[in-house]
């Protein structure tokens, strides 16, 4: 039985519809649907400007920013600079594990991941780099209502830019001498982490928590499919295609099976929620099955319950993934 909490939360948190202003940049979406990918987006290293460090709960916190390598794909002005927060154990060195955390849908700013994930991991000797998504928080464009992206093309730009920025951070950390690196994320953030790991092609710890194998499963099968402006999207197509079919075609390009597996699958941990109304259980299994040698674990709850009550499962998966990376 799917989680009642997921259903209640979805109805409460989605009072506006995703993509209420339509498809957006149709040419970009047609290029994506045809399989085009901007390889130049994921080849850069971050040129970081750092702010002064501060100490909180025994951890060192430092914010940084850099020009997004994806600025040229039409990001709004507010999103053109990547912003992140690094949280490390007080006595960290270049041997301290560091994990880049990508944002879940609606996770704006740094505080949620800092409190729930980064500070507890710092106590375990693992540092975190919390990346703020384009279109969210300080990077949210004027006129956008919270997490509710106005156009379908905004979703693709968000994902492509976040992956490009995350890979740029990993390259910069590697260049700076950090030896034990990883990528992680919850829900949508896990999908971005998976893509980043595939693109980087180097040994990394990878942690995907309540993550789908493809954004198509989230927006056309899970409960979020009820909160898209389908009527408007259909009208914009003028009978040329069915909106749900075109949405599937576009979002299928995020399917992990389109990418090579991470370089070290024994350091990959996938955690699914058995009663998840957002991410079908079959999609979680597809993610795991695409990476032979990865570890799949389950929590007996839904999507929201997993984050609220089973965060320890995520933290343990991160600890275990970095342990495998060191083997």
Contact (CB, 8 A) for 322 and 182: yes
Distance, CA of 8 to CA of 3 (rounded, Å): 9
pLDDT for 43 equals 65
Look up the pTM and report it. Answer: 0.95
Contact (CB, 8 A) for 60 and 53: yes
Contact (CB, 8 A) for 105 and 302: no
Distance, CA of 194 to CA of 235 (rounded, Å): 34
Distance, CA of 285 to CA of 268 (rounded, Å): 14
Q: Nearest Cα to 110, choosing from 56, 45, 175, 42?
A: 56
What percentage of the chain exceeds 70 in pLDDT? 97
Whether the pLDDT of residue 300 is over 70: the answer is yes
pLDDT in tens, 176-191: 999 999 999 999 999 9
Distance, CA of 184 to CA of 205 (rounded, Å): 8
pLDDT for 71 equals 87
Distance, CA of 118 to CA of 59 (rounded, Å): 9
Number of C-beta neighbours around residue 281 at 10 A: 14
Which residue shows structure tokens 């290293």?
A: 45
pLDDT in tens, 88-118: 998 899 999 999 999 999 999 999 999 999 9
Provide the pLDDT confidence category of residue 37 given band limits of 50, 70 and 90. Answer: low
**pLDDT (mean) for 5-28:** 93
Whether the pLDDT of residue 262 is over 90: the answer is yes
DSSP state string for 134-177: TTSGGGPPTT-BTTB-SSHHHHHHHHHHHHHHHHHHHHHHHHTT
> Looking at the DSSP assignment, which residues form a beta bridge with residue 87?
61, 128
pLDDT for 39 equals 60
Whether the pLDDT of residue 278 is over 70: the answer is yes
Average pLDDT, the chain: 94
Distance, CA of 115 to CA of 102 (rounded, Å): 15
Whether the pLDDT of residue 135 is over 70: the answer is yes
């Amino acid at each position: 039985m799917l989680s009642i909490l997921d259903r209640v939360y979805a109805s409460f948190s989605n009072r506006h519809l995703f993509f209420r202003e339509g498809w957006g940049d149709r040419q970009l979406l047609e290029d994506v649907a045809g399989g085009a990918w901007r390889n130049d987006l994921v080849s850069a290293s971050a040129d970081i400007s750092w702010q002064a460090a501060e100490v909180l709960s025994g951890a060192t916190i430092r914010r940084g920013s850099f020009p997004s390598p994806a600025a040229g794909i039409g990001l709004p002005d507010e999103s053109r600079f990547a912003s992140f927060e690094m949280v490390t154990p007080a006595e960290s060195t270049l041997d301290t594990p560091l994990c880049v955390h990508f944002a879940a849908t609606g996770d704006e700013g740094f505080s949620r991941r800092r409190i729930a994930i980064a500070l507890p991991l710092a106590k375990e000797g693992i540092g975190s780099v919390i990346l703020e998504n384009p279109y969210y928080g300080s990077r949210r464009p004027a006129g956008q209502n919270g997490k509710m992206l106005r156009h379908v093309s905004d979703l693709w730009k968000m994902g492509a830019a976040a992956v490009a920025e995350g890979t740029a951070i990993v390259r910069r950390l590697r260049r700076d001498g950090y030896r034990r690196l990883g990528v992680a994320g919850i829900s949508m953030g896990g999908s971005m982490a998976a893509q980043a790991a595939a693109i980087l092609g180097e040994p990394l710890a990878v942690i995907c928590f309540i993550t789908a194998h493809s954004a198509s499963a989230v927006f056309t099968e899970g409960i979020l499919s009820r909160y898209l402006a389908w009527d408007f999207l259909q009208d914009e197509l003028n009978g040329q295609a069915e909106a749900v079919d075109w949405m599937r075609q576009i979002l299928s390009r995020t399917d992990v099976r389109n990418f090579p597996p991470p370089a070290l699958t024994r350091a990959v941990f996938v955690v699914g929620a058995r009663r998840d109304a957002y991410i079908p259980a079959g999609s979680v299994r597809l993610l795991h099955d695409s990476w032979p040698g990865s570890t799949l674990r389950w929590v007996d709850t839904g999507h929201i319950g997993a984050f609220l009550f089973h965060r320890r499962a995520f933290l343990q998966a991160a600890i275990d993934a970095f342990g495998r990376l060191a083997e």
